[in-house]
A = this chain, B = another copy of it.
Amino acid sequence: MGETTAIPRKTRIQAQNEELILKAALEVFSAYGFRGATVDQIATNCGLSKPNLLYYFRRKEDIYVAVLEHTLHDWLEPLRSLDPAGEPIEEITRYIRTKIRLSRDNPKASRLFANEILHGATAIGTYLKGPLKDLVDEKAAIIRGWIAEGRLNAVDPHHLIFAIWATTQHYADFEPQVQAVVGGGPEVMTKAEETLTRLFVEGLKPRSQ
């Protein structure tokens, strides 16, 4: 009791391997979903044996939760940085642009979450109802304020945020469909960014000004 409670310091090897595992896990889970992915796949993908991988994460689910948590924070950063002191149209334009570029540069994270939520969000359900809801409510209040000041068209802030999420993440989550319809060149994403910003800006800019 007088001693310091056991603090499990992380070995160099531990930190290194856990990072390898999380990277491989994102790859595999985002491609096949939780049930579709296999521990063997993840192990092979990062050059470890299966028992060795299970030495670092006892259960498959532990890897899954770890990679979800590890990715969630970064994913919400753009919304977090929506600035109440900024110019409304400019702030929202920047948000859309950041989100769609995140979707382009890190589609695996998008697909990981999409799959998790699509299948009931059992692993991150409490997170959604807690921190996520709090963040969204906070930003929705800001938008509501802008609307009250007449600086934005009157739309429901929550559903506006949903719309931005849906449209931007669509390009990562439904990539095969987008690819099938308009092809897969790099110009697709720039065109998407252009179209979405115009659509939302025109949709939100007050008529009388």
Q: Interface residues, chain A, CB within 8 Å of chain B?
A: 31-36, 111, 114-115, 117-121, 125, 128-129, 132-133, 136-137, 153-156, 158-160, 162-163, 165-167, 169-171, 173-178, 180-182, 191-192, 194-196, 198-204, 207
A121 to B: closest C-beta gap in Å: 4
A29 to B: closest C-beta gap in Å: 11
Contact A158 B170 (CB under 8 A): no
Chain B hits for A166, CB < 8 A: 166-167, 169-170, 174
Q: What residue in chain B is nearest A195 (Cβ atoms)?
A: B159
Q: Roughly how many angstroms separate A158 CA and B192 CA in the complex, as a whole number?
A: 9
Partner of A199, one of B120, B165, B181, B203: B203
Contact A176 B36 (CB under 8 A): no
Partner of A32, one of B35, B181, B202: B35
Contact B155 A199 (CB under 8 A): yes
Contact A159 B35 (CB under 8 A): no
Partner of A111, one of B32, B118, B160, B170: B118
| 5 residue pairs, one from A and one from B, having the closest CB atoms | A203-B203, A128-B180, A166-B170, A159-B195, A35-B36
A183 to B: closest C-beta gap in Å: 10
- Contacts A36-B35, A180-B128 hold; do A163 and B196 have CB atoms under 8 A apart? yes
